[in-house]
Amino acid sequence: MSETDRRVVFTPSGRRGRFPAGTPLLKAARALGVDIDSVCGGRGLCGRCQIEVAEGDFAKHGLVSRADHLTAFNEVEARYAEKRGMKPGRRLSCQACLTGDAVIDVPAESQVHKQVVRKRAEVRDIQLDPAMRLHYVEVEEPDMHQPTGDLERLLKALAEQWGLTGLEECDLHTLQRLQTALREGGWKVTVAVHRGQRITAIWPGFHDRAYGLAVDVGSTTIAAHLCNLSTGEVVASGGVMNPQIRFGEDLMSRVSYVMMHPGGDAELTAAVREGLARLIGEVAEEAGVAVEEILNATLAGNPIMHHLLLGIDPTELGGAPFALATNSGMTLWASELDLVMNPDARVYILPCIAGHVGADTAGVILSEGPQLRDEISLIVDVGTNAEIVLGNKERLLAASSPTGPAFEGAQISGGQRAAPGAIERVRIDPVTLEPRFRIIGSELWSDEDGFAAEAAATGVTGICGSGIIEVVAEMYLAGILAGDGIIDGTAQGRSDRVQADGRTFSYLLHAGEPEIRITQNDVRQIQLAKAALYAGARLLMDRLGVDRVDRVVLAGAFGSHIDVKYAMVLGLIPDCDLAQVFSAGNAAGTGARIALLNQTARDEIQRIVRGVEKVETAVEPQFQAHFVEAMGIPHSTAAFPNLAKAVQLPEPRIATAAEPAEGRRRRRRRSGA
Amino acid sequence: MSETDRRVVFTPSGRRGRFPAGTPLLKAARALGVDIDSVCGGRGLCGRCQIEVAEGDFAKHGLVSRADHLTAFNEVEARYAEKRGMKPGRRLSCQACLTGDAVIDVPAESQVHKQVVRKRAEVRDIQLDPAMRLHYVEVEEPDMHQPTGDLERLLKALAEQWGLTGLEECDLHTLQRLQTALREGGWKVTVAVHRGQRITAIWPGFHDRAYGLAVDVGSTTIAAHLCNLSTGEVVASGGVMNPQIRFGEDLMSRVSYVMMHPGGDAELTAAVREGLARLIGEVAEEAGVAVEEILNATLAGNPIMHHLLLGIDPTELGGAPFALATNSGMTLWASELDLVMNPDARVYILPCIAGHVGADTAGVILSEGPQLRDEISLIVDVGTNAEIVLGNKERLLAASSPTGPAFEGAQISGGQRAAPGAIERVRIDPVTLEPRFRIIGSELWSDEDGFAAEAAATGVTGICGSGIIEVVAEMYLAGILAGDGIIDGTAQGRSDRVQADGRTFSYLLHAGEPEIRITQNDVRQIQLAKAALYAGARLLMDRLGVDRVDRVVLAGAFGSHIDVKYAMVLGLIPDCDLAQVFSAGNAAGTGARIALLNQTARDEIQRIVRGVEKVETAVEPQFQAHFVEAMGIPHSTAAFPNLAKAVQLPEPRIATAAEPAEGRRRRRRRSGA
């Protein structure tokens, strides 16, 4: 240590050291391993390396820190501040040099591996570490006496200026643009490097715009977030209907279409790619981003969407043994999927887990991180199939359960998709049995003033998944429904909304046009669906050797709309402290966003997926037993202690004999199909 | 060692060992590191592992070898022999097991790394080790309880059955075909693996056809060899005119076209790719090979062809400092170059060396291997530019010299390309000065009976490069031409074929229609061209510090047509023992074939190219000095001792004063241009 060495402490990391007077702060930070960002490599162009001096007497560090213990604000900083703006007190750490002792605060936005904060408190933030990074470099000019190629001189500059020593050959489109970019930029260019391995884009001079797209390819909707890869910020979000819907509403009808029409897989592949391509155009336009600025995309989807997107015939997924073409994550060129982005943009597709448990579930796991917790999480993503993940840091299990489309409003007499006009909330007065409800598109209940006016735009068009859950649960809580799922004819005496309906009974929810009525068959459909979901969860719990879970996470659109209390009243999910039941929204999409913003998450999910224990419900006798048992509506406070604390459950009542037998026949047909 | 162990000796390798009775020979061979081929992995399908038993008392090995010291010819062998035929005495080493001691001969064609023999004795054979290899595998069927993907089970099988443990993700087209292939083949498939790293093609069941294409993309002609990757054999060869010719005869006129027409580079790229695509179709059809069976291609070409083929604007190559976009070899998908082969076929493009020294020269180096010899080789590939390589295992130097198009018949009064009807050989009677000649398309000399009849089909249409060399050299040897290149007017007295032609003289070679006359200007053009070539070679010799070379290799079409003696008489090349002057034919194409058949040659040439010392003739003052000096025709037996032994050189004669001055003016104009 020399007499002239200055002391510097970086916060919040606390890293400290001594450097000769005149050392640039960025250099000192790098020497100490302090995480400070830079795209321009210390040339005062990018402004990513901004810091602040903490002034004062820092007795614990044994130094006095002052703003004038750095060299004066210089021309480079003045030019940057004038051009791009800079908060008072900020300095560019590549320009400011130590002249005395200093405590330097590195604001969050100046850190390379900054945290991208998520809204939900219970989940971890995303550490920014994108697969595509920009690097500004200054390249040697060619020399006739040392005739190396322009590419080789660029690689040399990247090795020397950025330590990128392991770069492979360059992508062809980038090579085609290389010579022009170098000369237009006066031998200064910015390149995008994919995973520290390969140059995939080039711009003349300094370029600081890089975007990425995280996509959840659902059977119904394709949803995308366009993200700024430098900040992690979502700059635009959007969704389009999956154009495959014209080939069939649900997955199995699309697989059937493929099986029955030669070349059908190519049609379905073209349809989903076309929808995705349109979505990319839309979100890019919304954000004012050129599609060429989108350098990377990550995709999640169920196994059939995954295969069709990749152009793989999904026929094998339509029948046992439900063999996936691959259960690994894949990196492709966007152009291989006909997606228009930067010409050498890369697409990463999350791995599928099993024939029924897709890359969407891999995304859910990335988003929810059950493998990071001591507590046992049960995560369900409900669609036509419910994909179920159970476990903690010791073990993770996954299964898919054939819930059918009832939760999405299909096969329900008044059912419909969640859309304006659909009943989504229901309350039944336990005394009068009179209902009140809310529809999507209005904040008012049907018995509030102004509801009719608000509802006039759409009318009351039907009932969606969350509404069905609530009405059936409320019917049970109001004593209209017995624990075995039979609509109790004796309730006719309490309200004329309970009406005979052939040999069974129904409950009139809404008398308008269309009339919305909950029939015995509707209740049966919900029972079948919820029994499948519950049985899947129970089966995994058996395998894990637990009879309770610590947390429940409901993922997907359905999960974010239902009231968890009603879900538990009906027995969709096992008993759990209601404070530990979370709605995760589009967790598959969030998982895709994590894989977009953090490259190591790709390796992580690949590793996790390999370790997940897959349970195939279709061949598990225990699943059938759980299924039969779960047909009833829970009434045991012993089995549902947490629920019993939250809800006044009705007294157990005996079911009639005829109906359960009918239910058993149905099940037998179903499982034999 | 057990009592029951049997002794086995493999020839020609001489490897020996002891194995328990019942050990299959293939297994024993592999344990001993004996090089025996197999595609089917020992299942008796491919027949590649055939061996013969050497019968007799092998005293030196201490054993008696007999055919019946192996298990009997079995059903698998019988089925193979019936289906595909097998020479008497041959056995499949995967089926035949040791029952006693044996000496086993592994025929050349059963070796994995067999030698592909080249016709020329002085060059090394090609060791077969293609970048694309076929592997037959048996894959586990999917299991619902272990739901790995089909790809992952295939990778597992390749690791277990072939030791291919480092395989990456699979190409998308192959993944798309994977599930069908596995099921059609009953879980037995053959895959093509590229460089031991990546699956690039798949076929149901056993498949044993794999082809590759080696291409030399010349400015005038694109030439291709289609090779069987299992044997190295050339199954078809072909050539097409480079369709770029419509944009300009020579390279510089094409670069000018690009510079003057926006989008011109894309037109030229499309043209060369279209020509190449047509050629692929033609050679495949000729050989009866489906284009899908072509799995790999290697390409060589000069820097401008290299860049245009890759879709890189060649403008930078049109002026100093002649910067290449890249000087590395590249591996691409064939589809990236719009070439129709197997959908995931790979293309390898040899590295360029410098702005004027291309991937064709890299091919020439691979073919001729100067870096493997102690002797100093001078290799020249003559086109519009002569590319020159000089050196031995210590050092290699390369340069390009602007010979211009005279050697190709351009800028010569009666000149034309080498085509039927062109004069290619000339002799002049030293006494009468009467000429006789041969034309392309006829084996007869013009003074032989029947020549007129044979020539009638085409007529005598002009004179091509080799004809020009010979006639000028013969004029010199006959005393028509002085050592300074002046046509001697006094020779008019010896023959009326020497005629006044304005201020200079000419020699009438053929009096027909068209009349073919060698003018003073024609001689000058040849002098300029040969001086450039010689000066380039001399410059490299200076750099290497030698004043003689041990071998001369003439590559390219021109090199294979000229008579080296005449080339030396004119001083195209330095003096050398005529027995050590070789014609290499299309060595660039041969280099591409080597890179196709032997993958390590790709790494080798990359390494060599990096180490080559590049000399830029355009900026070397010494080049100008050599050029001026080389304008004359050699007459010093001291400088050309070898030539003097082979040819009766005329007495030195003094040149007139006027002409050399004119020649100097021309040179000054040229070098200033």
State how far the Cα of A560 lies from the Cα of A583, in Å rounded to an integer. Answer: 5
State how far the Cα of A245 lies from the Cα of A181, in Å rounded to an integer. Answer: 44
Comparing C-alpha atoms, which of A626, A635, A611 is closest to residue A671?
A626
**Helix B172-184 and helix A303-310: axis angle, to 10°?**
110
pLDDT digits 0-9 by tens, A628-641? 989 988 756 677 78
pLDDT higher than 70, residue A654 = no
Residues 139-158 of A with CB under 8 A from B: 141-152
pLDDT digits 0-9 by tens, A331-340? 999 999 999 9
Cβ proximity of B299 and B215 under 8 Å: yes
Q: How large is the average pLDDT for residues A480-507?
A: 93
- Domains parsed from chain B with CATH numbers: 6-110 (3.10.20.30), 132-204 (3.10.20.880), 213-356 (3.30.420.480), 362-405+526-646 (3.30.420), 407-524 (no CATH)
Q: How large is the average pLDDT for residues B303-313?
A: 97
Backbone dihedral region of B127: left (phi > 0), alpha (psi from -120 to 50 degrees) or beta?
Answer: beta
pLDDT digits 0-9 by tens, B403-462? 888 888 888 999 998 889 999 999 999 999 999 999 999 999 999 999 999 888 899 999
State how far the Cα of B406 lies from the Cα of A672, in Å rounded to an integer. Answer: 85
Inter-chain residue contact A326 with B151, CB threshold 8 Å: yes
Q: How large is the average pLDDT for residues B665-670?
A: 44
pLDDT at A652: 63
| Beta carbons within 10 angstroms of residue B129's beta carbon | 15
Q: How many CA atoms lie within 13 A of A436 on its CB side?
A: 12
State how far the Cα of B220 lies from the Cα of B244, in Å rounded to an integer. Answer: 8
pLDDT higher than 60, residue B516 = yes
Comparing C-alpha atoms, which of A520, A133, A596 is closest to residue A367?
A596
How high does pLDDT run on average in chain A?
91
Segment holding B1, helix H or strand E: none
B346 CB neighbours in chain A (<8 A) are none
pLDDT higher than 70, residue B2 = no
pLDDT digits 0-9 by tens, A75-87? 999 999 999 999 9
What DSSP line would sit under B334-394, residue for residue?
Answer: GGGGT--SSTT-EEEEPPP-BTTB-HHHHHHHHHH-GGG-SSPEEEEEESSSEEEEEE-SS
pLDDT band at B177 (very low <50, low <70, confident <90, very high): very high
pLDDT at B485: 92
pLDDT at B144: 82
Inter-chain residue contact A312 with B179, CB threshold 8 Å: yes
State how far the Cα of A137 lies from the Cα of A134, in Å rounded to an integer. Answer: 10
Q: Which of A150, A326, A618 sits opposite B324 (nearest CB)?
A: A150
Cβ proximity of B573 and B552 under 8 Å: yes
Q: How large is the average pLDDT for residues A507-532?
A: 94
**Peptide bond between residue A435 and the one before it cis (omega within 30 degrees of 0):** no
Q: Which residue has the higher pLDDT, A417 or A303?
A: A303
Taking CA atoms, what residue in A is nearest to B178?
Answer: A325
pLDDT higher than 60, residue B349 = yes
Q: How large is the average pLDDT for residues A194-222?
A: 95
pLDDT band at A103 (very low <50, low <70, confident <90, very high): very high
Cβ proximity of B28 and B19 under 8 Å: yes
State how far the Cα of B588 lies from the Cα of A380, in Å rounded to an integer. Answer: 63
Output B203-209 pairs: Cβ under 8 A, ≥24 positions apart: B204/B180, B206/B39, B206/B40, B206/B43, B206/B45, B206/B46, B206/B136, B207/B134, B207/B136, B208/B39, B208/B46, B208/B134, B209/B289, B209/B293
Segment among A19-33, B141-155, B344-358, B652-666 with least mean pLDDT: B652-666
Q: How large is the average pLDDT for residues A581-610?
A: 95
Say whether A369 sits in a helix, a strand or coil. Answer: coil
Inter-chain residue contact A148 with B355, CB threshold 8 Å: no
Rank A109-123, A301-315, B629-643 by mean pLDDT and report only the highest.
A301-315
Does B270 contact chain A (CB < 8 Å)? no
pLDDT at A658: 39
Comparing C-alpha atoms, which of B477, B652, B434, B656 is closest to residue B563?
B477
Give the whole-number percent of chain A exceeding pLDDT 90. Answer: 77
**Do you know the residue count of chain B?**
673
pLDDT digits 0-9 by tens, B54-107? 999 999 888 999 999 999 999 999 999 999 999 999 999 999 999 999 999 999
Q: Which of B147, B176, B324 sits opposite A355 (nearest CB)?
A: B147
Give the whole-number percent of chain A exceeding pLDDT 70. Answer: 96
Q: What are phi and psi of B240, to 5 degrees?
A: -135, 155
pLDDT digits 0-9 by tens, A150-187? 999 999 999 999 999 989 879 999 999 999 999 999 99
Taking CA atoms, what residue in B is nearest to A183?
Answer: B316
Residue whose structure tokens are 């719009």: B338
Cα Rg, chain B, nearest whole Å? 30
Inter-chain residue contact A149 with B332, CB threshold 8 Å: no
State how far the Cα of A84 lies from the Cα of B320, in Å rounded to an integer. Answer: 39
Q: In sequence order, what E strands does B186-293 have?
A: 188-194, 198-204, 211-217, 221-228, 234-241
Q: Which of B172, B328, B353 sits opposite A310 (nearest CB)?
A: B172
Cβ proximity of B137 and B161 under 8 Å: yes
| Beta carbons within 10 angstroms of residue B531's beta carbon | 25
Q: Which of A147, A326, A328 sits opposite B614 (nearest CB)?
A: A147
Instruction: For residue B143, give Cα distances in angstroms to A380, A397, A614, A615, B150.
Output: 24, 17, 11, 11, 10
Q: How many CA atoms lie within 13 A of B139 on its CB side?
A: 32
pLDDT higher than 60, residue B658 = no
Comparing C-alpha atoms, which of A386, A398, A546, A407 is closest to residue A468?
A407
Say whether A315 sits in a helix, a strand or coil. Answer: helix
| Beta carbons within 10 angstroms of residue A662's beta carbon | 13
pLDDT band at B635 (very low <50, low <70, confident <90, very high): low
Instruction: For residue B234, give Cα distances in angstroms to A298, B211, B283.
Output: 45, 10, 11
pLDDT band at A668 (very low <50, low <70, confident <90, very high): very low
pLDDT higher than 90, residue B282 = yes
Residues 177-196 of B with CB under 8 A from A: 178-180
pLDDT band at A673 (very low <50, low <70, confident <90, very high): very low
Cβ proximity of A11 and A105 under 8 Å: yes
Q: Please give the DSSP secondary-structure letter assigned to residue A448.
A: S
pLDDT higher than 70, residue B189 = yes
Comparing C-alpha atoms, which of B543, B672, B530 is closest to residue B612?
B543
Inter-chain residue contact A323 with B142, CB threshold 8 Å: yes
pLDDT higher than 70, residue B540 = yes
What DSSP line would sit under B230-252, residue for residue?
Answer: TT--EEEEEEEE-GGGGG-SSHH
State how far the Cα of A587 lies from the Cα of A367, in Å rounded to an integer. Answer: 6
pLDDT higher than 90, residue A524 = yes
Cα Rg, chain A, nearest whole Å? 30
Taking the alpha carbons of B110, B113, B116, B122 in that order, is the dihedral positive or negative?
A: negative
Does B313 contact chain A (CB < 8 Å)? yes
Segment among A385-389, B167-171, B306-310 with least mean pLDDT: B167-171
Does B311 contact chain A (CB < 8 Å)? yes
Chains A, B: CB contacts within 8 A come to: 150
Q: Which of B141, B316, B321 sits opposite A179 (nearest CB)?
A: B316
Tokens, residue B222:
């694109």
pLDDT at B656: 43
State how far the Cα of B181 lies from the Cα of B137, in Å rounded to an integer. Answer: 12
pLDDT at A385: 83
Does B197 contact chain A (CB < 8 Å)? no
Tokens, residue B601:
């040659």
Comparing C-alpha atoms, which of A326, A383, A331 is closest to residue A352?
A326
Q: Which of A328, A332, A354 sits opposite B172 (nearest CB)?
A: A332
